[in-house]
Every structure is written in structure tokens, then in C-alpha cells.
Amino acid sequence: WKRNRRALAYSTVGTPDYIAPEVFLQTGYGPQADWWSLGVIMYEMLIGYPPFCSESPQETYRKVMSWRESLTFPPEIPISEEARETILRFCSEPDRRLGSQRGIEDVKSVSFFRGVDWNHVRERPAAISVEVR
């Protein structure tokens, strides 16, 4: 059951800013939708806000659905070409999306992530230490 539970999903769950276009279509979507969300998170981390943020969920939906036109990079915020290209590869058509063919192996091969020690990534201390009581 666990192995097949994400083969194809039909529910729309999550914050509209991060939802892949195919999720909104309600015709079924696969794990490629998660790679889209990672691209949106990467954009927000580097730019400071999500790429499709709007005043209303309806406007966010419109921007996500027209992502080819609305996914832009503000010229006043400098990011590397590698970062820009990586985001664009995550936020693309599901079958062409970064991660859609070989999963994390696709992502590991991208030059933006070249310095990541993938074998020990879980052993690194957190950037921000939080004490839970």
C-alpha cells in the first residue's frame, strides 16, 4: 500500500503559492508535483517571496496556471544563472521537470548543487538550533 499510495493523486491540498499547475487541474498528478514545489521554495529562499504570490488565492491560482508568463525574476535581486536555471527546471512541464525522470539523482547532478555532500547531508548540524521543551 505505501509503495503505491502516491502513484496518482487527485486531491488539492496545500498553500496555493506552492501547488503545481497539474494539481489544480484535478485530473491526477504524480510525484513531479513535489519537485515543482521545491522550485517554488527555492525561489522564495533566494528572492524573498514566492514567485506567484498575490493578494488573493484566485489571483495566485491564475498566476500558477499561466506560469510560463508569470514566473519572472526581479532584476533588482541578483541570483546566479545556475540558481535561475535550476528553478526554471523545477518549475516546468511535469514530464520535463527536474526530478521527473530519476528523482533525486537528477537533482544531485545539477551544477547548482555541486558542493553538497549528499552522503552526509543528514549528519550536518541545523543552521538554526531550536530547543524543544
Q: Which 8-state DSSP code applies to residue 112?
A: G
Q: Give the residue, 82 or 26, on which the prediction is more confident.
A: 82
Mind listing the pLDDT tens digit for each residue in 33-91? 999 999 999 999 999 999 999 999 899 999 999 999 999 999 999 999 999 999 999 99
Whichever domain contains 104, its CATH number is: 1.10.510.10
Which residue, among 69, 116, 92, 85, has the nearest Cα to 21 in the 3D structure? 92
- Return the pLDDT at 14: 57
Number of domains observed in the structure of the chain: 1
Examine residue 8 and state whether it is found in any structural domain, yes or no: no
**115 occurs within a structural domain:** yes
Identify whether 6 is part of a domain: no
Q: What percent of the chain has pLDDT over 90?
A: 72
- Domain housing 54: 16-123
